[in-house]
Amino acid sequence: MSHSHLIPFTEMAKLLAHRGLTVTIIITPLNAVRYSKIIQYAKNFNLQIQFVSFPFPSQEAGLPEGCENRDSVPSPDLIPNFVKASNMLQEPLEKWLQGLESQPSCIISDICFPWTSDVSLRFNIPRIVFHGISCFTLFCSHILSHYKVLDSVTSDSEPFSVPDIPDRIEFTKAQLPEARKDLKAAIERYKEAELSAEGVVVNSFEELEPAYVEGYRKVVKKIWCIGPLSLYNTNEISSCEHESLKWLDSKKQSSVLYVCFGSLCHFLPQQLIELGMGLKASNHPFVWVVKEGDYSTEFEKWLVEEQFEEKLEGRGLVVRGWAPQVLILSHPAIGGFMTHCGWNSTLEGISAGVPMITWPMFAEQFHNEKVIAQVLKIGVRVGAEVIMKWGEEKKLGVLVKRENIKKAIKQLMDEGEEGEDRRERATQIGKMAKSAVEEGGSSHLNMTLLIQHVMQLVSRDDGEN
């Protein structure tokens, strides 16, 4: 239960409902409030989507009351409690299923709920796993585990190649979530639950990473790529009015860099200041989104003392809090995107046909950087080298200096043959993304095949009964 999972998950629910299916989303009360727009959307389009809300056992699991989303967990020490509380939802789900007159045709569960495999077996309901990450990540992770590659790597900073994959890709242990001992057991549980499922649904599209889709197809029972799910979101957000969009209207085509690091990445004030100085030194127009948890008094004080916004008025816009990212990225004035490489943001950049500056921080973001910069060749690295563990930011200090930031911006935004090629590739891949979700496209077809597969399973079970 975090935005990076819930956003594509609810988009998938809308997609299924648009195909005439009845969709029930199991959710918790505060997340139901946050995502209530989907219910209004369903009413507007006459879709069968309902929420079933189970109380989240925050306090029983040792969490503060109202802590129902990953972004409201106050400290890294409480993440195990959050996982424990999520696991405690198994019992209310089973009680709810027992009370139904007719059972669902299928359970689609996020990879982070491996216990749904027990529920599926107990009630004899087919189960499919939803992945909000790329097939590149899934296949690389499988290969590393299969060949026990990490066992022979002694140093955190020693680069090693991933064997038996289509591209030459190197990682260090310091860039991989799999290398963390505290995550090992959870990752193994996820993999077990995935392999016992009927198949996996992935928020990607086949033309983006064909060799990795094929590679992972040999690992799981079935795979359906149905993304980019963000491209189905246009009806809802096209009416949005935001200061950034009006500001962008006055800028030249492809001249502005959009800078945003998602809802969970946390910056030290000193790192934000380095970023600000790098943006200033680049001499390029920019829209910089600083999330709510990051604009500290120290950072605000620096903005005022530096007269940052006043001096850069007209060239730079600082947005505090939320910004309509999909709309900003698709604005003609945007020419580049500096991103933390979360998969949702990566797909949004790809779908908009925008080249990217990659600044990965945690989870599988270093994998996504490899996709952007090496596989697709539509990105420039800023030079981050290690996963930033939540709560340990102060230990690491400033990881990326202003000179590197300025250099990456210049490299991405200044034209020249290399930049032109990168921009052209990004444009072409953006067109492929849009084609994939249109009628007749690969993702549209995969959604049809997914529904047909579930219906076959249901009719087979009915025949056996």
Residue 264 pLDDT greater than 70, yes or no: yes
Which DSSP string do the residues of 4-63 spell out, in sequence order? HHHHHHHHHHHHHHHTT--EEEEE-HHHHHHTTHHHHHHHHTT--EEEEE----TGGGT-
Supply the range of the domain harboring residue 253. 241-434
User: Beta 160-161 vs 127-131: how paired, if at all?
Assistant: unpaired
User: Which is more confident, 389 or 148?
Assistant: 148
| pLDDT tens sequence across 176-198 | 988 777 777 888 899 999 999 99
Q: In terms of domains, do 367 and 282 share one? A: yes
Q: In terms of domains, do 221 and 276 share one? A: no
Q: In terms of domains, do 139 and 66 share one? A: yes
For residue 304, what pLDDT is reported?
Answer: 94
Query: Residues in the chain, how many?
Result: 465
For residue 423, what pLDDT is reported?
Answer: 97
Q: Work out the burial of residue 92: count CB atoms within 10 Å of its CB; fewer than 13 is exposed, 13-18 middle, 19 or more buried.
A: middle
Tokens representing 3?
Answer: 């935005």
Q: In terms of domains, do 230 and 245 share one? A: no
In one letter, which amino acid is 229? L
Q: In terms of domains, do 11 and 155 share one? A: yes
> What is the percentage of the chain residues whose pLDDT exceeds 90?
84
Q: In terms of domains, do 352 and 218 share one? A: no
247's CB contacts (< 8 A; 6+ apart) are 287, 317
In one letter, which amino acid is 261? F
Least confident of 43-47, 113-117, 370-374, 385-389: 385-389
User: Beta 160-161 vs 170-171: how paired, if at all?
Assistant: antiparallel
For residue 465, what pLDDT is reported?
Answer: 60
User: What value does the mean pLDDT take over residues 459-465?
Assistant: 72
Tokens representing 318?
Answer: 């600082």
Residue 263 pLDDT greater than 90, yes or no: no
Tokens representing 291?
Answer: 């999330």
For residue 276, what pLDDT is reported?
Answer: 97
Beta bridge pairs of residue 339: 260, 358
- Torsion angle of C-alpha atoms 291, 112, 57, 107, degrees rounded to 10: 120
Predicted structure pTM score: 0.95
Which DSSP string do the residues of 94-151 spell out, in sequence order? HHHHHT-SS--S-EEEETT-TTHHHHHHHHT--EEEEE-S-HHHHHHHHHHHHTTGGG
Q: Work out the burial of residue 157: count CB atoms within 10 Å of its CB; fewer than 13 is exposed, 13-18 middle, 19 or more buried.
A: exposed
Q: In terms of domains, do 91 and 173 share one? A: yes
**Coil, strand or helix at 257:** strand
Q: In terms of domains, do 245 and 286 share one? A: yes
| pLDDT tens sequence across 227-261 | 999 998 655 555 568 999 999 999 999 999 999 99
Q: In terms of domains, do 430 and 444 share one? A: no
- Torsion angle of C-alpha atoms 176, 181, 185, 186, degrees rounded to 10: -50
Q: In terms of domains, do 383 and 428 share one? A: yes
User: What value does the mean pLDDT take over residues 218-224?
Assistant: 97
For residue 391, what pLDDT is reported?
Answer: 73
Question: How many domains is the chain partitioned into structurally?
Answer: 2
Least confident of 123-137, 182-196, 405-419: 182-196
Q: In terms of domains, do 345 and 225 share one? A: no
| pLDDT class of 266 with cuts at 50, 70, 90 | confident
DSSP state of 371: I
3-state SS, one letter per residue, for 169-237: CEECHHHCHHHCHHHHHHHHHHHHHHHCCCEEEECCCCCCCHHHHHHHHCCCCCEEECCCHHHHCHHHH
| pLDDT tens sequence across 309-343 | 999 999 999 999 999 999 999 999 999 999 999 99
CATH number of the domain where residue 265 is located: 3.40.50.2000
User: What value does the mean pLDDT take over residues 217-222?
Assistant: 96
Q: In terms of domains, do 169 and 259 share one? A: no
Residue 7 pLDDT greater than 60, yes or no: yes
Chain centroid offset of residue 301 CA = 32
